[in-house]
A and B are shown apart, each in its own frame.
Chain A
């Protein structure tokens, strides 16, 4: 879909931003460009819509040299999202989103209608359409930026560090939202980030650049973590890569054991009887976990009393046995649930969030060893 052929960008002062980049981005899926600052990842991205012209080499989109079409026409066919959003301050949110359709000559009514659809698609309420960008939060502005890029339904989306300027909680939301959108729309997305965790989380394939504009490795995230091409990639990928690689291994071999549960608001006496190895998961009426109660916490409490919030110890992360996103249910999720739980038993939940059992770190590691023996773990 996007092809770099020995693309090189040398600036007037002689610095080489991108050095002989040869790389093919397959249609569909998210391809991440990641690397330290000054590695040429943004310059490479900007070559695709000719915001930067390569000094030598070529860039092809859909098999055609990007220089074949006039800049403006090429750009209208490629979605573009940037870090500072670049929303037009003097136009309403709806008119911002309608920018490319209007440039392409759509009638105003149809363009506005399309913009309203997109507002909904990126999860923003319709009444925000009449506001101005400055009246929106950072996360909302970035959603509008994505909606604007998608307005003319381009097959290719370029995203230049779109989520770097928002706080971590909002960033995680936006990342999940992008994955959801991508499942729905199946665009070819080229995404630049300096955050390797973001690259691993979002990317179907990840290109790691090193300073001087040289491609260091282009691989699937699991392979990047499991088999870094060299010391640079290994150090860039980070020190927890062994642990993070577990995120790409399905946890189907991990046995889900039974776990004792007690109702929030039930009697303390009943809770004491229910404890297993001194612990029980406290659940609400939908069997969703609230936390843990322990023998030591319950000792000395009147048996007639109800199990209240004060008696509950907060739990660890939850291990989703299988979720619709297909990204949970990994060995990493299972292991983290076990390690972060006060009882050393990780709480396993189903797609609705209801408790189905528990896992232990020991079980996870044994499942990993079994998988290795069976040759299911790439190494």
Chain B
């Protein structure tokens, strides 16, 4: 155990692993690139469908079933199928990762829109908002915290799974794992795993920060208001938002 740890530290200490096209910064950027691309694809597909189904309330049963079905697909198997159909390249890993990310975004968007107080939606309609205005100006802003929760969990799953890109001759942190296994270079395998785990933790923390910012002001303030003690502590913080 101690020996493995020593070799791992040795791997990270080697300056050769920090530069060039196979260095950590480059692999990290590739990994983040795949993650961002797959997440963007998933958002483009899942946000409108989830929002529409949540707004109309029709097809919710179908949507939940579809999301669960997608979740059951093994990413590696899917990747293989896409490679067989479309060949090696960027498309297969992005497609596989997108399929992985669609269910949480879909479920979060649908659940978020459904969770908006029906009285608020009724009032919005009664005031004379058209349907798209009800969705865009009332339902989505209030659903944002739950939608963002779905996006956050999708991003984490992609980051953890984007190692599969290396299977089909692409880059990313998965390269260390795949190449390490091929060369029986276990410190390299371990380094790859540690890097992926660390990236996931950092990304999650970043999302948590953003989530606080995107919560609608009214909801955030009321939550703070209910937790009287927290609000008192915050009020004394320099630079805190004045209530």
Contacts and interface: CB of A to CB of B under 8 A. Distances in A.
Contacts of A75: 125-128
Interface in A162-219: none
B237 interface: no
B231 to A, nearest CB: 11
Nearest to B215: A90
Interface in B116-139: 117, 119-130, 133, 138
A82 interface: yes
B127 A89 contact: no
A81 to B, nearest CB: 9
- The residue in B120, B121, B123, B133 that gathers the most chain A C-beta atoms within 10 A of its C-beta is B123
A86 B120 contact: yes
Interface stretch (A128-136, A248-256, A257-265): A128-136
A89 B216 contact: yes
Contact of B142 (A49, A74, A80, A90): A90
A99 B222 CA distance: 21
B127 A148 contact: yes
B141 interface: yes
Interface in B184-232: 216-219, 221-222, 225
A90 B217 contact: yes
Contacts of B216: 89-90
Given A82-B122, A89-B222, A132-B222, A103 B217 contact: no
Query: What's the interface size class on B, roughly?
Result: 20 to 34
A76 interface: yes
A43 B222 CA distance: 33
A73 B128 CA distance: 6
Interface residues of A, number: 30
A89 B221 CA distance: 10
Contacts of A135: 221-222, 225, 243
Given A80-B127, A135-B225, A91 B119 contact: no
A51 B125 contact: yes
B200 to A, nearest CB: 31
Given A100-B127, A132-B222, A134-B218, A89 B120 contact: yes
A100 B222 contact: no
A203 B142 CA distance: 37
Contact of A134 (B119, B127, B225): B225
Interface string A144-168: 0000100000000010000000000
Contacts of B121: 86
Interface string A96-114: 0001100100000000000
A76 B125 CA distance: 10
Contacts of A86: 117, 119-124, 126
Interface string A63-74: 000000001111
A99 B225 contact: no
A134 B222 contact: yes
B93 to A, nearest CB: 37
Contacts of B225: 134-135
A72 B130 contact: yes
A80 B218 contact: no
A99 B127 contact: yes
B142 to A, nearest CB: 6
A100 B130 CA distance: 12
A53 B216 CA distance: 34
A51 B217 contact: no
B127 A82 contact: no
A343 interface: no
A115 interface: no
A91 B218 contact: yes
B25 to A, nearest CB: 40
A16 interface: no
Contacts of A51: 122, 125-126
A314 interface: no
A281 to B, nearest CB: 45
Given A86-B120, A92-B218, A148-B127, 14 more contacts: A51-B125, A75-B127, A77-B128, A83-B119, A86-B121, A86-B123, A87-B120, A90-B141, A103-B127, A103-B129, A132-B222, A134-B219, A134-B221, A135-B243
Q: Please provide the 3 A-B residue pairs with the shortest distance between their CB atoms, ordered closest to farther.
A: A86-B123, A134-B222, A90-B216
Interface of A: 49, 51, 71-77, 80, 82-92, 99-100, 103, 132-135, 148, 158
9 contacts: A75-B128, A85-B123, A86-B120, A86-B121, A89-B120, A90-B141, A90-B142, A100-B127, A103-B127
